[in-house]
Structure 1
Amino acid sequence: MTKKKIFVIMPFVSANTRDEASLTSFFNDYIKYPIETARGLSSEYSVSRSGNSLLILDNIIEDIAAADIVICDLSGEMANPNVMFELGLRLSTSPKPTILIREESEKNKKIFDVSGLYTYGYSLTGTRNLERFLLDKLAEYETNHEAYESPVLKILDHRAAFWMMLPVRKASAFLGGIASAAEASLRAFARAVALHVHKKGGHLEVDDSMLIYKAILSLPDKIVLEDFDYKISSIPSLDSYLSSVYLLGLVEDDVERKFREYAMAYSLSFSKGNSSLFAETKFGEFLGYAFETLILMNLSRVIIRVLGERQGGTERAALVSKFFDVAKDSQLIGG
């Protein structure tokens, strides 16, 4: 089971009467440990937090934006600048859940920036209640994907700002290029197969190159392809994808990993004449090529649709499920 990631935004040096050591113990004892060892949740979680730095490093920005859930501790008499900056970054870049908590204190000043958002007040003498609240929220988000809306992205109708959409558009265009190149390769292959069969005195009707797999499968004489000298070519855009991180942070981690695994397996199997090494007959070689190229096209196009849906929404979850259903059919990665 892939662990989901929880990132905790919180003061590091001081908050009310707590010092750095107390805050670290609070994080470890009452947030990280209870969540990572919890039973009864459908997912496992890894919990991390930012460190004591005035610099917002690249990895922290990625952690904040990509985390499945963020817990933000607003504790302190006044709003902590680093905490508020990181919270603003989260709310403006991710539609995924953000949970606000704050230690109760008579000295607390109202934080107007988030005064309209629910913040759970906790006491250091009642940390069990805090643990129960956090675990209940996690369970709620696991069963109801629509339970949370980013207050910032809600105003934008769940559409990110233009600069945030650039990586999504770039990834979508790149995947569209992979799908189109795969389709063009399959179309050329279908024409070559039909011509070869015709020269052998047979007939193979392929009006739609998407049906080439079924057409080959239905050939009455499988031996007809044994002297079919067709050189399967690689897909340059797929090879380029393998040297990039186009999907990292844009789609679910398990989707990115599975597609990368498939892209690698496809590239190794159907480039530089390798395809003949993985099949006992020419018929099996070309049948496998047609089938896996269809898989590649379908996976690419499903991911494009995933990129177009709001993270955490039911439509996106359904597409992610469809992606893995398609991947299960592949003979290259064993489902």
Structure 2
Amino acid sequence: MIKKIFVVMPFSEANGRDQASLTRFFADYIKDPIENHAKLAGKYDVTRSGDAFVMLDKIVEDLARADIVICDLSGPRSNPNVMYELGIRLATSHNPTILIREESPENAGIFDIHGLYTHPYSMGDTKSLEKWVVSKIVEYEENLDAYESPVLKVLNHRSAFWMLLPIRKASAFLGGISSAADAHLVAFSKAVTIFLGRKGIPFAPRTPQMIFEDLQKIADRTSLDDFGYQISSIPSLDSYLSSVYLLGLVDDDIERRFRECAMSYSLAFNRGNASLFSDNKLDEFARYAFETLILMNLSRLIIRILDSRQGSNERKNLAVEFFENAARSTL
């Protein structure tokens, strides 16, 4: 998936450079070097904001969701548009923000961000700027440098404030799916134990969650052809599938993969179709138990992803674990 770099910079004037010069600067010394670098080519799409002092929905979204923001603070004094957009970025995302500023004897200090590192550059040595910007992006790409928003750090927010309510709502739904899946496994385990006990077959599953393994172990000694257990639906799963609770809260590929798993599970088991995908009753029920466990695990992993900080190694490791679990599904 192509990552996004959003560039915030003066649009019409900075240290004697006019609009055309600034546009060429963006294209020649920021966009092209990043998009064509050996380690970054094909990974990033670099775009910039305009000059209007109007926070259009698209600009706010770009600032909040960009994987990296590069903010050029060039000019004798702080540019209102640039500072406003930088403020939005720092208040909405833990993803990296890189600050640069052209050196000039006319530059006044920018008190608001005096504690944040701003890399100086000279128009007479743009190669040094290109090299430094690319090196920072490579460091973030290879997890060699960590970043967190100084604003959200002070507020002790793991996620931007505007995401907290939808995160809680999504976590509540996923928690409902996870709890229901767990309860289904407990009920199913009890029913199987009672059924086999009546047939004189000792059966003591180690845990309800791992009953699929215990069923496979008795496959050569019995069948479940006359087991009348009715697989019931998970209401919270159906509610989830009718909404877009994770959209914009986790990476698109995670949201898409979970939706695929949830839909496949619903079609296979909640509509009485399980027998269509199995060779026999025992295989059908073992598969039901296994896929219910997968659904429970995926729900819990996404809850942990939602609770982790954007851009953190913890979040990346949880994403890897999510896809490893999703790959185990046979649906």
- Unaligned 5+ segments in structure 1 are none
Indicate the residue corresponding to 1:323 in structure 2.
322
Match of 1:61 in 2: 60
Query: How many percent of aligned residue pairs carry the same amino acid?
Result: 60
SS of equivalent to 1:224: coil
Q: Which residue of 2 aligns with 1:255?
A: 254
List aligned pairs for 1:145-294, cutoff 5 A.
147-159=146-158, 164-206=163-205, 208-221=207-220, 224-294=223-293
Assess if the C-alpha contact under 8 Å between 1:183 and 1:297 holds in 2.
yes
Would the aligned equivalents of 1:62 and 1:249 in 2 still touch at CA under 8 Å?
A: no
Instruction: Call closer, same or farther: CA 1:46–1:266 in 2, change over 3 Å.
Output: farther
- Which letter maps to 1:138? I
- Which stretch of structure 1 is more off in the superposition, 22-31 or 125-134? 22-31
User: In the alignment, is the contact (CA less than 8 A) between 1:172 and 1:307 conserved in 2?
Assistant: yes
CA distance in 2, matches of 1:97, 1:40: 18
Separation in 2, partners of 1:103, 1:15: 9
Corresponding position of 1:33: 32
CA shift at 1:41, angstroms?
4.6
What amino acid is aligned across from residue 259 of structure 2 in structure 1? Answer: R
Q: Deviations over 1:163-199 (max 9, x none)?
A: 5532322222221111011112222222333333334
**Conserved in 1, the CA contact under 8 Å of 2:6 and 2:47?**
yes
Structure-2 change in CA distance of 1:37 and 1:162 (3 Å): closer
Q: Is the 8 A contact 2:94 2:159 kept in 1?
A: no
CA-CA distance at 1:278 after TM superposition: 1.9
Quick one: distance in 1 between partners of 2:20 and 2:166? 39
The answer to which of 247-256 and 301-310 deviates more is 247-256
Residue aligning to 1:137: 136
Residue 85 of structure 1 pairs with residue 57 of structure 2: no
Deviation per residue, 1:40-63 (Å, 9 max, x gap):
359822222334443323333232
Q: CA deviation at 1:132?
A: 0.7
* Matched length: 331
Deviates more, 1:95-104 or 1:43-52: 43-52
Change (3 A) 1:25 1:239: farther
- SS of residue paired to 1:203: coil
Gaps spanning 5+ residues in structure 2: where? none
1:120-131 to 2 correspondences below 5 Å: 120-131=119-130
Amino acid at match of 2:100: I
More deviation in 192-201 or 56-65?
A: 192-201
Q: TM-score, normalised by structure 2?
A: 0.89
> Which residue of 2 is the match for residue 103 of structure 1?
102
Q: Distance in 1 between matches of 2:62 and 2:138?
A: 22
SS in 2 for 1:249: coil
The residue type equivalent to 1:73 in the other structure is: D
Q: Is 1:46 matched with 2:45?
A: yes
The residue type equivalent to 2:83 in the other structure is: M
Cα separation, partners in 2 of 1:8 and 1:215, compared to 1, 3 Å: same
Instruction: Output the amino acid matched with 1:311.
Output: Q
Pair 1:197–1:60, CA change in 2 (3 A): farther
Query: 1:178/1:145 Cα in 2 relative to 1: closer, same or farther (>3 Å)?
Result: farther
Instruction: Look up the match of 2:112.
Output: 113
Q: Residues 119, 298 of structure 1: CA spacing in aligned structure 2 closer, same or farther, 3 A cutoff? A: same
8 A Cα contact 1:4 1:43, kept in partner: no
Measure, in 2, the Cα distance between the counterparts of 1:242 and 1:30: 45
Give the TM-score of the pair, scaled to structure 1: 0.88
Q: How many Å separate the matches in 1 of 2:163 and 2:190?
A: 42
Partners of 2:263 and 2:27 in 1: CA distance: 39
Residues 205 and 214 of structure 2 are in contact (CA less than 8 Å); yes or no, is this contact kept in structure 1?
yes
Cα distance per residue 1:279-323 (max 9 Å; x no partner): 232222221111111011111112222222222333333322222
Q: Secondary structure at the match of 2:13?
A: coil
SS at the partner of 2:325?
Answer: helix
**Does structure 2 retain, via aligned residues, the 8 Å contact 1:247–1:256?**
yes
